[in-house]
């Protein structure tokens, strides 16, 4: 794993063996804000429970905790990460500085794994060192799911239909799943599971992303 500078000057991480970055090569913060704040949190109301697949650098968690404060809502954030980013690399990432919340970013990273941790009055985090395929999720638990795995072409096993069926069950009625991908197979799988799909424009000029909603059945 190594540092990579995106076109907007923000850093992200790069995995040479996969030729894959943790965020869009055109900009990390702009992508996270667009996909997971604008089309994730902002499509929900009130106090919410979020599940994230792929904690990675913690950028989505930082943005979500900032948004909880700005919108005066409470967010309980459950995030999965089987391969935590080493500290030497985390301190090189400049998100805390760029988002003017270095202490908050550090607190999110310093919080204990496998425990509910209070980060601010509006934000708690629970970091789980487990793979999405291995975890048991309760039914009707989450209001929003941030599906931020590596690209389907790079890690197809994470985009298996069974995974999305499990995630669908774990969503409350009217809950949403947001992801940057709009791959054909993903659309077909989500639709057949029962998600109602929307494909707004993606981040940084990308044609489409995906928002799947669990609409109540009669």
Ligand X SMILES: C[S@@+](CC[C@H](N)C(=O)[O-])C[C@H]1O[C@@H](n2cnc3c(N)ncnc32)[C@H](O)[C@@H]1O
Which is closer to ligand X, CB of 20 or CB of 198? 20
Instruction: Assess 95 for contact with ligand X (CB under 6 A).
Output: no
Beta strands in 85-194 (DSSP E): 116-120, 123-128, 142-147, 171-179
Instruction: Assess 56 for contact with ligand X (CB under 6 A).
Output: yes
Question: How many chain residues interact with ligand X (CB under 6 A)?
Answer: 19
DSSP string, 45-73: -SSEEEEEE--TTSHHHHHHHHHHHHTT-
Q: What's the closest the beta carbon of residue 149 comes to ligand X, in angstroms?
A: 5
Which is closer to ligand X, CB of 46 or CB of 85? 85
The closest of 14, 33, 2 to 98, measured between CA atoms, is 33
Instruction: Assess 202 for contact with ligand X (CB under 6 A).
Output: no
Per the document, the length of the chain is 218
Which positions from 166 through 195 interact with ligand X, judged by CB under 6 A?
Answer: none
Q: What's the closest the beta carbon of residue 45 comes to ligand X, in angstroms?
A: 23
Q: What's the closest the beta carbon of residue 215 comes to ligand X, in angstroms?
A: 26
Cα(210)–Cα(162) distance, integer angstroms? 18
Which is closer to ligand X, CB of 68 or CB of 174? 68
The closest of 192, 193, 194, 191 to 218, measured between CA atoms, is 194
| Residues 6+ away with beta carbon under 8 Å from 132 | 53, 80, 149, 158, 163, 166
Instruction: Assess 92 for contact with ligand X (CB under 6 A).
Output: no
The three-state secondary structure class of 127 is strand
Q: What's the closest the beta carbon of residue 32 comes to ligand X, in angstroms?
A: 6
Q: What's the closest the beta carbon of residue 90 comes to ligand X, in angstroms?
A: 10
By CB under 6 A, name the binding residues for ligand X. Answer: 22, 32, 53-54, 56-57, 59-60, 80-83, 131-133, 148-150, 158
């Amino acid at each position: 794993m190594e540092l990579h500078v995106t076109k907007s000057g923000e850093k992200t991480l790069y995995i040479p063996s996969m030729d894959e970055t943790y965020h869009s090569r055109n900009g990390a913060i702009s992508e996270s804000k667009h996909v997971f704040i604008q089309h994730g949190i902002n499509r929900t109301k009130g106090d919410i429970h979020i599940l994230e697949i792929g904690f990675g650098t913690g950028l989505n968690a930082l943005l979500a905790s900032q948004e909880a404060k700005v919108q005066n809502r409470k967010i309980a954030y459950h995030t999965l990460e089987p391969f935590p980013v080493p500290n030497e690399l985390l301190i090189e990432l400049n998100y805390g500085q760029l988002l003017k919340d270095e202490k908050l970013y550090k607190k999110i990273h310093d919080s204990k794994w496998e425990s509910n941790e209070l980060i601010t009055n509006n934000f708690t985090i629970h970091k789980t060192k487990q793979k999405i395929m291995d975890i048991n999720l309760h039914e009707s638990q989450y209001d929003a799911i941030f599906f931020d795995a590596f690209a389907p072409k790079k890690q197809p096993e994470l985009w298996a239909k069974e995974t999305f069926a499990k995630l669908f069950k774990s969503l409350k009625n009217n809950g949403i799943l947001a992801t940057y991908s709009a791959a054909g197979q993903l659309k077909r799988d989500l639709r057949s599971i029962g998600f109602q799909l929307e494909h707004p424009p993606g981040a940084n000029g990308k044609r489409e992303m995906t928002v799947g909603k669990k609409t109540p059945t009669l």
